[in-house]
């Protein structure tokens, strides 16, 4: 392989850009060198499909750590103090430290020969949460914009929903119980089963009802669902007794100190019947939860932390992998390759995008990753929902779900919330048949979506529906 020298101003070679460097070390180094490209100084090498061991042999001049040598491929980068590179076998990629990349001339300017096992070499970037708003910042500008559009037909409702207070929840429960008693008293021409379904539906969030979750007979039993975010409060009382496997990929404990990850997991995997007076907010209530902490408590990670999480989720055969993350720019070769590797192994990657009403960003804009748009309660795309490569849509405004203790619950808005609805419904569909994996699961979700009167660039195939 012939390669040219790298640019003199490239960050590779920095002692901070080791494979084992923490996210904070990488970020401080980027600030110190004035890098406004959000590059970490490390590189990602994607090998060609079928390259097999030839890719590994290409790296043999380096000190290479192999994720397969770690139980469940749960490798954390801070364990690799002496490594020049980390190989991720499930997605057939390697992370190369800045110094090693410099010594072996593996920068983004390198020329790749046609007979090389390498498909691409890319600089690694920082990654951030997808811009979902927490309850504490729910009055931010774009949510105000969403509010002004969302609730024109529901005067007086906005304020009570945003507060998500106990008094609201008690009132919610009392109202639904009253309606349920009336239904039972009159019969209303429906069967007992239909009455029970209607009653159950009344006790769920608007998002679940829009996706037909309360009337679904599926629970996600037997399905592993991986959530790549900023961690989870596994001690939340609504998740007692659940199957939870967790792993950090950023060197911090898995405990969610922000709330975003716990909220996403709550929507996708939360309980069937949370304690009164809380309405049902979770979809796959019998799924096995795989928590991959790929963002720090500052809500920042790197592409490598995400890829190690994806590699781990595939190794643990999670049919649904859900990543509420956002990056600017066009489709990334590494995410496209990771999404394809996942599909080939019966896993479906679902991602959000920037909550700024802009074009769909990475990783969701890769053709091998299912991208999601956010809807309001009128089933309209929200002003903050991205435009472009959209595969389907789901509720993303005023989503009530779990939150780290002591708060326990919160209502937020964002693309991530919509993505969580799709991930939960995907788990229910995956339960219906072992044949619904990978691309078949993707097609089933789109083929069963509820059509909406908006361009595909805004809502894709439409609103996700539970089986």
pLDDT tens digit sequence for 274-299:
987 899 999 999 999 999 999 999 88
Mean pLDDT (the chain) is 81
- Averaged over 225-251, what is the pLDDT? 96
What is the Cα Rg of the chain in Å?
23
The per-residue DSSP string of 102-145 comes to: HHTT-STT----TT-SEEEEEEEEEEEE--PBPGGGTTSHHHHH
Question: pLDDT category, 192, cuts 50, 70, 90?
Answer: very low
Whether 149 shows a pLDDT value over 60: the answer reads no
Above pLDDT 90, what percent of the chain?
58
Residues in Cβ contact with 166 at an 8 Å cutoff, skipping those fewer than 6 apart: 277
- Nearest alpha-carbon partner for 446 in 373, 380, 376: 373
Q: Is the peptide bond before 51 cis (omega within 30 degrees of 0)?
A: no
Pick the more confident residue, 315 or 36: 315
pLDDT of 14 strictly over 80: no
The least confident of 174-178, 216-220, 350-354, 374-378 is: 174-178
pLDDT in tens, 81-119: 889 999 999 999 999 998 888 888 776 666 777 778 889
Predicted confidence (pLDDT) per residue in 24-38, tens digit: 999 888 888 887 778
Distance of CA 353 to the CA centre of its chain: 9
Residue 193's pLDDT is what? 45
Residue 201 confidence (pLDDT) above 50: no
Q: Give me the mean pLDDT over the 237-251 stretch.
A: 95
* pLDDT band (50, 70, 90) for residue 130: low
Q: In the predicted model, what is the mean pLDDT of residues 307-330?
A: 91
For residue 7, pLDDT beyond 70: no
Residue 327 DSSP label: B
**Do 364 and 389 meet the contact criterion of CB atoms below 8 Å apart?**
yes
- pLDDT in the model for residue 217: 96
Q: Is 398 or 107 the better-scoring residue by pLDDT?
A: 398
Task: Judge whether residue 386 has pLDDT over 50.
Answer: yes
Identify which has the larger pLDDT, 172 or 380: 380
pTM for the complete prediction?
A: 0.81
The Cα 249–Cα 422 span in angstroms is 24
């Amino acid at each position: 392989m012939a390669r040219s020298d790298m640019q003199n101003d490239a960050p590779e070679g920095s002692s901070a850009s080791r494979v084992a460097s923490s996210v904070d070390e990488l970020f401080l180094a980027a600030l110190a060198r004035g890098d406004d490209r959000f590059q970490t100084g490390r590189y990602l090498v994607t090998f060609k499909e079928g390259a097999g061991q030839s890719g590994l042999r290409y790296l043999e001049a380096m000190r290479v750590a192999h994720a397969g040598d770690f139980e469940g491929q749960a490798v954390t980068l801070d364990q690799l103090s002496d490594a020049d590179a980390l190989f991720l076998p499930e997605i057939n990629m390697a992370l190369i430290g800045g110094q090693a990349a410099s010594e072996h001339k593996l920068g983004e300017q390198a020329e790749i020969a046609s007979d090389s096992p390498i498909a691409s070499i890319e600089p690694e970037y920082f990654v951030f949460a997808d811009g979902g708003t927490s309850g504490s910042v729910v009055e931010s500008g774009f949510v105000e914009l969403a509010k002004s559009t969302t609730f024109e037909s529901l005067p007086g409702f906005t304020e009570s929903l945003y507060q998500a207070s106990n008094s609201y929840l008690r009132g919610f429960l009392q109202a639904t119980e009253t309606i349920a008693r009336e239904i039972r008293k009159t019969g209303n021409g429906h069967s007992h089963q239909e009455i029970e379904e209607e009653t159950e539906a009344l006790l769920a969030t608007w998002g679940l009802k829009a996706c037909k979750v309360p009337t679904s007979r599926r629970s996600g039993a037997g399905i592993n669902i991986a959530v790549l975010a900023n961690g989870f409060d596994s001690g939340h009382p609504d998740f007692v007794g659940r199957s939870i496997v967790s792993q950090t990929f950023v060197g911090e404990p898995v405990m969610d100190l922000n709330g975003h990850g716990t909220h996403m997991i709550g929507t996708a995997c939360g309980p069937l019947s949370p304690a009164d007076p809380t309405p049902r907010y979770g979809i796959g209530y019998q799924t096995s939860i795989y928590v991959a902490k790929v963002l720090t408590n500052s809500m920042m990670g790197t592409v490598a932390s995400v890829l190690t999480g994806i590699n781990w989720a595939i190794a643990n055969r999670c049919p649904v992998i859900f990543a509420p993350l956002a990056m600017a720019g066009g489709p990334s070769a590494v995410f496209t390759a990771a999404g394809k590797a996942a599909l080939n192994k019966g896993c479906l990657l679902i991602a959000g995008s920037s909550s700024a009403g802009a074009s769909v960003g990475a990783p969701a804009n890769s053709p091998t990753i299912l991208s999601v748009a956010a809807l309001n309660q009128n089933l309209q795309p929200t002003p903050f929902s991205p435009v472009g490569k959209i595969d389907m849509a789901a509720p993303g405004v005023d989503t009530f779900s779990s939150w780290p203790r002591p708060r326990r619950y919160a209502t937020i808005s964002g693309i991530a919330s919509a993505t969580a609805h799709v991930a939960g419904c995907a788990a229910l569909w995956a339960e219906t048949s072992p044949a619904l994996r990978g691309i078949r699961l993707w097609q089933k979700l789109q083929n069963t979506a509820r059509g909406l009167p908006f361009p595909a660039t805004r809502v894709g195939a439409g609103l996700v529906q539970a089986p």
